[in-house]
């Protein structure tokens, strides 16, 4: 497994992920063994991790994975990023739902990604394009935005560890390789963003919207999960996964993981909502030559639980 530098935010995330995985296995196996929380975690994070482990073990029958105080923190952080949301607005045809200013505001944030039209889909890269920090994180306020998202980012990532551990570690390797490349090329701003980025997801989208029709995310990897966390004072939330024939209750505090590249997904609700969506780009993994993992299966988790029980 890749070794994460101790001064990275991702280092704390890995510790929290291992803690949640141990709790998850105990809950699924009916084991009442006491698991001591790591000393590096503060009390709100520790409590949120324990709740997340219970929800994951309950097979999402109660999908409200985000604690109320974390929801409040996400709303506060989103308000603080209002200038980034305004900065990210683009003009386009009103027939495209992502381009309607009155209904959709989004800020894509990434410590390292390719600008639109420059993404690479093969290895080794030969197009002459190189990744850079997303425009929303460049300059004043970028690091503050990353830091304000760390706790909720940690929860999304520990959920990924439980759902798809091989993808988790492959993505950790990618982050470390990106940092090594950035250091070798003297990209101090990218190094700083990666140091405080508490995720192995390449990108985050902070979204404030009033509608979300059925769609797919073709730039995400088919094998990977996108994780969406939704908060705010809305009601009647319903997520539809149309090509699976599934509808999910999608109230505030819900966390959903799915392969957005394959699954058509959309949300209906009453009033306004805030969404933080975490996702990966094929092009970044291709750039550093990290092999993609296979699709997630239940086998490893079932085997671990049966052995521990």
- Domain assignment present for residue 259? The answer is yes
Predicted confidence at residue 191, as pLDDT, reads 93
What's the number of domains the chain is made of? 1
| H-only helix segments in the chain | 9-29, 43-57, 68-80, 82-88, 142-148, 150-163, 165-184, 188-196, 282-288, 299-308
- Domain assignment present for residue 78? The answer is yes
What one-character DSSP code corresponds to residue 61?
Answer: S
Contacts of 111 (CB under 8 A, 6+ apart): 133, 134, 137, 146, 178, 190, 193, 194, 197
- Domain assignment present for residue 152? The answer is no
- Are residues 19 and 51 in contact, defined by beta-carbon separation less than 8 angstroms? no
- Are residues 238 and 217 in contact, defined by beta-carbon separation less than 8 angstroms? no
Predicted confidence at residue 220, as pLDDT, reads 78
Helix 43-57, helix 150-163: angle, nearest 10: 30
CATH number of domain containing 104: 2.60.120.10
- Domain assignment present for residue 54? The answer is no
Domain that holds residue 106: 68-145+161-296
- Domain assignment present for residue 46? The answer is no
- Domain assignment present for residue 13? The answer is no
- Domain assignment present for residue 212? The answer is yes
Predicted confidence at residue 196, as pLDDT, reads 93
- Domain assignment present for residue 140? The answer is yes
Strand partners of residue 49? none
Segments in the chain below pLDDT 70: 1-2, 28-33, 58-65, 84, 86-105, 115-129, 210-211, 296-309
Query: Per-residue pLDDT tens for 267-302?
Result: 888 877 888 888 888 788 888 888 777 776 654 444
- Are residues 147 and 196 in contact, defined by beta-carbon separation less than 8 angstroms? yes
């Amino acid at each position: 497994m890749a070794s994460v530098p101790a001064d990275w935010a991702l280092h704390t995330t890995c510790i929290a992920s291992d803690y949640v995985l141990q709790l998850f296995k105990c809950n699924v196996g009916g084991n009442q063994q006491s698991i001591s929380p790591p000393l590096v975690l503060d009390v709100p994070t520790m409590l949120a991790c324990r709740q997340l482990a219970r929800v994951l073990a309950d097979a999402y029958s109660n999908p409200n994975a985000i604690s109320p105080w974390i929801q409040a923190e996400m709303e506060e952080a989103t308000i603080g990023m209002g200038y980034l949301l305004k900065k990210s607005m683009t003009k386009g045809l009103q027939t495209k739902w992502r381009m309607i200013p009155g209904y959709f505001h989004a800020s894509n944030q990434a410590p390292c990604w390719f600008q639109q039209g420059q993404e690479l889909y093969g290895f080794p890269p030969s197009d002459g394009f190189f990744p850079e920090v997303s425009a929303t994180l460049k300059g004043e306020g970028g690091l503050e935005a990353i830091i304000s998202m760390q706790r909720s980012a940690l929860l999304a990532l520990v959920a990924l560890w439980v759902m798809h551990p091989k993808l988790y570690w492959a993505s950790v390797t990618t982050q470390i390789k990106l940092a090594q490349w950035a250091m070798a090329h003297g990209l101090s701003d990218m190094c700083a963003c990666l140091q405080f980025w508490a995720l192995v997801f390449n990108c985050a989208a902070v979204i404030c919207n009033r509608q979300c029709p059925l769609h797919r995310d073709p730039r995400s990897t088919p094998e990977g999960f996108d994780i969406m966390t939704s908060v705010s004072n809305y009601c009647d939330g319903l997520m539809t996964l149309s090509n699976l024939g599934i509808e999910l209750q999608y109230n505030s505090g819900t966390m959903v993981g799915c392969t957005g590249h394959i699954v058509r997904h959309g949300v209906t609700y009453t009033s306004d909502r805030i969404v933080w969506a975490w996702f990966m780009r094929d092009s970044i993994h291709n750039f550093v030559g990290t092999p993609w993992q296979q699709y997630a299966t239940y086998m490893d988790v079932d085997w671990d639980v049966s052995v521990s029980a």
